[in-house]
Chain A
């Protein structure tokens, strides 16, 4: 720049006779100025090189390697808008300004570079339709025949997800229908007129009325059946939890991890209808799990490894959990063994049986409860589980009438009184803790009140003291008595 100024000034100082020379100097200065402004940003280290800007060769061949995206991205904003408008003239504009390096050196380069340039420019100036139209132009320049497949490929995510959603919707309606037919088939077999529950309970169904629906639909795969009005028990609530056929993802999951349609009967017994019975029957693995998890079984009962001597007992796959062996023996009587749980019968009906749990120390709202869990057969074979369903009223009657023998009762009484004492102690502890907390709170309140009072008293004292000090500070007017 110093050179510029000095040469500029010098052309004014030169006498007028050399106007040609001055013109030439001026032109060279102008050219130099222009080239300096355009090449400034590209060749920042090259200010000293001035006279022939266009004919540079060797030093510049290093440059593009250092900063690969061609200078349009590095250049100032003044340069870019003119080169943005059209793509075809653009490469030519590039070549005109960058003649000085060998294009052969960068054969693969321009095609890789142009798409990011295009997107960057579209970010700055154009709207998406333009970029989308320029993009296919570019890709069509590269390879025309695969544009359609490429477009399809670029939408794979959308196509896959939309088709999955369509399948999901179709499956929802078919699965829902299937579940409903299954539930209705069960109700038709066991809950309609002249069926087992109709003969055992006076009130069937959830809503009052003659033609009221029998089943309550809680979800697309959960149905409830309610019955009431029988001796020994308060009510019967049957909950059918079917496979989630309406949910495609759950359906696919159930193909890997098998699942069953289940029905659970819960029968709370009347207060005077059940003696001290804690008993459960299930298949081996399930029995072990129940013994660990269910609280009353854990506390009161033990696994029964073998049946009473000299008697037939349940099938090998089943395990009994009971508080007292005598009670177990009484509950699993001949009839039941012959019909359902014995070796032969279990082979036929065993696949529908899951578990059975009777307890008078049940956790939850009702203490005296019978719980039966069965698997549901498919729609056409609903009658296969008739014997299992018949167990329900049979056991209601059996337990309703059952009285423990004196020995058994003494044992059970001892266990229960222990537990009752523990529960009582826990309650007492809780009450004491609650009382202590209350006392502590009261103390805190009192202390705060006292401190407040103290604070007020302190303030008063301080005020008094200040008043006294003021009085003292005031000059004492000595009064002398008159003589």
Chain B
């Protein structure tokens, strides 16, 4: 590759990094968090054990893919609450036995 003899660098024009602010509406959709909420609600409402467990798994996936701590944590915590509620309803409720 041919390159010019002089140094291409120009320290005078150097700018510090400015992170581009992303509008919260333009954020990519967190599908796994969405699915986690759906399964969590299903697990709580229909008393479906597998639903609560799947909600927990998808919650974990959403956590693993989390990019921005402040914005993503709300949805993940909602999904996590539903999953935990489902667990409590399915396992610790006194009215029913454990057997599916």
Residues of A in contact with B (beta carbons under 8 Å apart): 119, 122-123, 127-128, 131-132, 135, 154, 157-158, 161, 164-165, 168-169, 172, 199-203, 206-208, 216, 218-222, 226, 228-231, 234-235, 244, 246-250, 335, 339, 365, 387, 390, 393-394, 397
- A228 to B53 CA separation, bound complex (whole angstroms): 48
Distance of A384 from chain B, by nearest CB (Å): 16
Are A230 and B9 also in contact (CB < 8 A) when A132-B98, A161-B53 are? yes
Which residues of B lie under 8 Å from residue A247 when comparing CB positions? 61, 64-65
The 9 A-B residue pairs with the shortest CB-CB distance, nearest first, are A229-B14, A219-B67, A161-B53, A203-B14, A202-B11, A202-B9, A226-B17, A228-B14, A247-B64
B5 contacts partner chain A, Cβ-Cβ < 8 Å: no
Does A218 contact B67, Cβ atoms closer than 8 Å?
yes
Residues in B with CB closer than 8 Å to A154 are 98-100
In the complex, chain A residues whose CB is within 8 Å of the CB of B1:
335, 339, 387, 390, 394
Instruction: Report how far A277 CA is from B20 CA in the complex, Å.
Output: 25
Q: Which of A135, A165, A222, A390 is close to B67, meaning CB atoms less than 8 Å apart?
A: A222
A172 to B96, CA, bound (A): 36
A157 lies within 8 A of B53 (CB): yes
A-B contact pairs, 18 of them (CB 8 A): A128-B97, A161-B56, A164-B57, A202-B9, A202-B10, A202-B11, A207-B17, A218-B67, A219-B65, A221-B65, A228-B15, A229-B9, A229-B11, A230-B9, A230-B10, A247-B61, A247-B64, A397-B3
Partner of B60, one of A132, A168, A335, A390: A168
Which residues of chain B (49-71) have a CB below 8 Å from chain A? Answer: 49-50, 53-54, 56-57, 60-61, 64-68
Question: B30-66: contact bitstring with A at CB < 8 Å (1 yes, 0 no)?
Answer: 0010000000000000000110011011001100111
> Is the beta-carbon distance between A172 and B64 smaller than 8 angstroms?
yes
Give the A-B contact count at a CB cut-off of 8 A: 115
The reply to whether the CB of B95 lies closer than 8 angstroms to some CB of chain A is yes
Q: Does the CB pair B65–A208 fall under 8 Å? A: no
A172 CA to B60 CA in the complex, in Å?
10
Interchain CA distance A475-B8 in the complex, whole Å? 109
Which of A119, A131, A226, A228 touches B13 (beta carbons < 8 Å)?
A228
- A218 to B20, alpha carbons, bound, how many Å? 12
* Count, chain B residues at interface, CB 8 A: 36
**A135-B99, A154-B99 known; A397 and B61 CB under 8 Å?**
no
Report the separation of the CA atoms of residues A169 and B13 in the bound assembly, to the nearest whole angstrom: 45
Q: Given A164-B57, A208-B16, A393-B8, do A244 and B99 touch, yes or no (CB 8 Å)?
A: no
A193 to chain B, nearest CB (A): 14
Closest to A161 in B: B53
In this complex, the member of A169, A202, A365 whose beta carbon has the largest number of chain B beta carbons within 10 angstroms is A202
Q: Which residue of B lies closest to A229 (CB)?
A: B14
**Contact A132 B97, CB 8 Å, known A164-B57, A165-B56:** yes
Q: Is B94 an interface residue (CB 8 A)?
A: yes
Q: Which residue of B has the minimal Cβ distance to A172?
A: B64
A274 to B97, CA, bound (A): 73
A122 CB contacts on chain B under 8 angstroms: 97
Chain A positions within 8 Å of B10 at CB level: 202, 229-231
Tell me, rounded to whole Å, the shortest Cβ–Cβ distance linking B71 to chain A: 12
B23 to chain A, nearest CB (A): 12
CB distance from B80 to the nearest CB of A (A): 13
Q: Give the residues in chain B near A127, CB-CB below 8 Å.
A: 94
CB B82 to nearest CB in A, in angstroms, measures: 16
Q: For A335, list chain B residues within 8 Å (CB).
A: 1-2
Most buried by A among B4, B9, B20, B49: B9
Q: A202-B10, A222-B67, A247-B65 are in contact. Are A135 and B57 (CB under 8 A)?
A: no
- Chain B residues contacting A230 (CB-CB under 8 Å) are 8-10, 13
Listed residue (A122, A123, A229, A250) with the most chain B CB atoms within 10 angstroms of its CB: A229
Question: Which residues of A sit under 8 angstroms from B98, Cβ to Cβ?
Answer: 128, 132, 154
A365 vs chain B, min Cβ distance (A): 8
Task: Name 13 extra pairs, CB < 8 A, besides A122-B97, A127-B94, A234-B13.
Answer: A119-B97, A128-B98, A157-B49, A161-B57, A203-B14, A228-B16, A235-B15, A247-B64, A249-B32, A387-B1, A393-B3, A393-B8, A397-B3
A residues less than 8 Å from B57 (CB atoms): 161, 164-165, 168, 249
Which B residues are CB-close (under 8 A) to A165?
A: 56-57, 60
Q: Which residues of A contact B16 (CB under 8 A)?
A: 203, 208, 228
| Shortest Cβ distance from residue B39 to the other chain A in the assembled complex, whole angstroms | 12
Give the chain B neighbours of A135 by CB distance below 8 A.
Answer: 97, 99
Check A219 against B53 for contact (C-beta < 8 Å). no
Taking CB as reference atom, which chain B residue is nearest A398? B2
A residues near B94, Cβ cutoff 8 Å? 127-128
In the bound complex, how far is the Cα of B95 from the Cα of A335, in angstroms? Answer: 78
Contact A220 B9 (CB under 8 A): no
